[in-house]
Structure 1
Amino acid sequence: MTKGQATITGFIAVLLWALLAALTVGTAPMPPLLLTAVTFAIGGAIGLAWIAWTGGWRDLLHVSPKVYLFGTAGLFGYHFLYFSALRLAPPAEASLIAYLWPLFIVLLSGLLPGERLNAGHVAGALLAFAGAALILSGGAGGDLTGGAIAGLGLAFLCALTWAGYSVGSRLLGQAPTASVAIFCVMTAVLSALAHQLTEVTAWPASGWGWASCIALGVGPVGLAFYVWDIGVKRGNIQLLGVTSYAAPLLSTIVLILAGQAEASPRIAISAALITSGAVMAARAGARKRPLQA
């Protein structure tokens, strides 16, 4: 696989993640931990089938246990927070705040050895946070309830979690893509146990809800992780980083087209600010060093 092909493969994940919010809303009233367990069981099964077909079991023996623990914590934490946020807060607003993660990746990467923040990073952060502030000031129809505020807070933690997972992965070294299947399976088991202890079981209320649940497991919570792993390890990382900033806009557009959010100037301006701030920060990082694979 060439670098260009790997980059295109990784971009498939961005397209799939644009469906994450709309499909999550469609699975109501499934509680977050149950939804995490079911969708990751589907995503993990896809990975295990792929490993069996390619004979990649041996590669997994060389992966450090701390990598498995870190990957599981990242996937479990991010999706539990994300699904919880979309249950409590208006989906478009929660999704936009959750998609601050590309910006946080750029900012946190400045703390890594050999990296530093510059004026472009700071300016991008201010733009993106202005977009988040506009969401918080506007709310759903201008009146945020206590539950909605809590949901937006969880969305913010969700963004920090995924950024921390992504940046921290660089410090743990390279692991085979097959290891993602183990992350998914362990996340499913952990979520199922936590669900039994803390939640009341509730299944999708319609055929569309079940279809949304299965689609989540196959796409945004399944295939997306595998193709993203291929993209960031074999493709153009900088280019993939920039394209991921399209996710907030794409996710919002999907929600509006699905009738799960209303188009409004506030949403459009918020999406533009968050996306523009993230792109500005990415460009600032790209200018200080050449593109790398």
Structure 2
Amino acid sequence: MHPIHSPVVVSPKFSVCAALIAVTLWSIAPLLAELARAAAPLQLTALTLLAGALATLPLSRRVPMQACSLGWQISVWLGIPVLIVGAVSSYFIGMRLAPAAEAALITYTWPVLFVLMSQWSRWGRLQWASVAGALIAFSGAAILLLPQALSGGFGGAASGYGLALLAACCWALYSWLGQAVPVSLTPLLPRLLLIACAITCAASLVWEGGAPLPREEALLAGIALGLGPYGIAMVAWDKALRFGQASLVGSLAYGVPILAALLLVLAGVSAFDWRLPTAALLVVVGCLKAGR
């Protein structure tokens, strides 16, 4: 199964601008998630995905999926919605169980995982620079977790950190599939988000059956999450991957941890600590090293 490259010639500036839009919107996601903290996490996930589907609805059009193999069709219609559900719900739940800035930073290690997947799928091996970059990036996350580990364990936060890492893996695999799939995901995104929303609604009914509806602030924050970070940003990211160079596009996403941490500190959600900017810088440096 080899991707069919688009015959359309697009300026490299287009992919860079699209990636920057996605990066900016993703940077505000942790802050919006904190504002929606009062909502049940799966209920918030369903609301976010529904808003994202509505935001991307004008882009929907028919795609010749019959030209793809059965494996790719299953990957698109089932695999991608499951990855979206896993990424968004794990992220929201992880930020409830662990400090917001730390959980967000762990999630934003996904670009280095995406670079490693891209290299392995293209060449069947990993470059030493990429492995070193991954170690540097995850050492940044380790700086944040080390004090808790030395003071007697993580407590309930360990599950939150694990879910944040799961969200990172889901986003990395989603990005890899978005680059490898033989068709553009943008026209399919509204339907994929609706499928993901249906899956999340079913899960919410099972595990959060009695959860009250979100209040006004949480409701607005959830809608904003869907319209921006999980709506427009996902379309922009798909366009950037489709028409841009993977290493260049991936490197632009490395600024998300610093911007997200800065916004959380400025908003008063997270207290300023020297470990936070140091860890964010290490994540960015590690991702840049891996991208090269």
Question: 2:181 maps to what in 1?
Answer: 172
Question: 1:186 maps to what in 2?
Answer: 195
Measure how far apart 1:218 and its partner are: 0.7
Question: 1:78 maps to what in 2?
Answer: 87
Task: Return the alpha-carbon distance in structure 2 between the equivalents of residues 107 and 50 of structure 1.
Answer: 30
Letter in 1 for 2:214: P
Task: Return the alpha-carbon distance in structure 1 between the equivalents of residues 290 and 85 of structure 2.
Answer: 27
Distance 1:144 1:221, change over 3 A: farther
Question: 2:3 maps to what in 1?
Answer: none
Question: Which residue of the other structure, out of 123, 140, 144, is the alignment partner of 1:131?
Answer: 140
Q: Does 1:95 align with 2:137?
A: no
Q: Does 1:263 align with 2:268?
A: no
Task: Return the alpha-carbon distance in structure 1 between the equivalents of residues 23 and 63 of structure 2.
Answer: 30
Question: 1:210 maps to what in 2?
Answer: 219
- 8 Å Cα contact 1:177-1:230 kept in structure 2: yes
Measure how far apart 1:167 and its partner are: 2.2
Q: Does 1:158 align with 2:206?
A: no
Distance 1:171 1:238, change over 3 A: closer
What are the residue-to-residue correspondences of 1:234-245 with 2, within 5 Å? 234-245=243-254
Q: Secondary structure at 2:186's aligned position in 1? A: coil
Question: 1:57 maps to what in 2?
Answer: 62
Name the stretch that deviates more: 235-244 or 15-24: 235-244
Q: Secondary structure at 1:227's aligned position in 2? A: helix
Task: Return the alpha-carbon distance in structure 1 between the equivalents of residues 239 and 179 of structure 2.
Answer: 14
Task: Return the alpha-carbon distance in structure 1 between the equivalents of residues 212 and 16 of structure 2.
Answer: 39
TM normalised by structure 2 equals 0.88
Q: Secondary structure at 2:255's aligned position in 1? A: helix
- 8 Å Cα contact 1:93-1:139 kept in structure 2: no
Measure how far apart 1:185 and its partner are: 0.7
Measure how far apart 1:60 and its partner are: 6.5
Question: 1:289 maps to what in 2?
Answer: none
Q: Does 1:3 align with 2:12?
A: yes
Measure how far apart 1:175 and its partner are: 2.7
Question: 1:20 maps to what in 2?
Answer: 29
What do you get for the CA RMSD once the two structures are aligned?
2.2
Measure how far apart 1:29 and its partner are: 1.8
1:235-261 deviations in whole A, cap 9, x for unaligned? 343321111000111110111111111
- 8 Å Cα contact 2:101-2:264 kept in structure 1: yes
Letter in 2 for 1:65: Q
Task: Return the alpha-carbon distance in structure 1 between the equivalents of residues 58 and 65 of structure 2.
Answer: 14
Task: Return the alpha-carbon distance in structure 2 between the equivalents of residues 96 and 212 of structure 1.
Answer: 20
Task: Return the alpha-carbon distance in structure 2 between the equivalents of residues 30 and 145 of structure 1.
Answer: 25
Measure how far apart 1:226 and its partner are: 0.9
Measure how far apart 1:151 and its partner are: 0.2
Task: Return the alpha-carbon distance in structure 2 between the equivalents of residues 152 and 70 of structure 1.
Answer: 24
Task: Return the alpha-carbon distance in structure 1 between the equivalents of residues 148 and 256 of structure 2.
Answer: 21
Task: Return the alpha-carbon distance in structure 1 between the equivalents of residues 11 and 134 of structure 2.
Answer: 34
Question: Which residue of the other structure, out of 36, 39, 47, is the alignment partner of 1:38?
Answer: 47
Measure how far apart 1:145 and its partner are: 4.6
Task: Return the alpha-carbon distance in structure 2 between the equivalents of residues 47 and 188 of structure 1.
Answer: 14
Distance 1:93 1:37, change over 3 A: same
Question: 1:282 maps to what in 2?
Answer: 291
1:159-217 deviations in whole A, cap 9, x for unaligned? 11211222244443233411111111111111011101111423434x43232112111
Question: 2:56 maps to what in 1?
Answer: 47
Distance 1:144 1:44, change over 3 A: farther
Measure how far apart 1:102 and its partner are: 0.6
In structure 1, list runs of 5 or more residues that go unmatched.
284-293
Distance 1:269 1:106, change over 3 A: same
- 8 Å Cα contact 2:130-2:291 kept in structure 1: yes
- 8 Å Cα contact 1:7-1:236 kept in structure 2: no
Name the stretch that deviates more: 127-136 or 83-92: 127-136
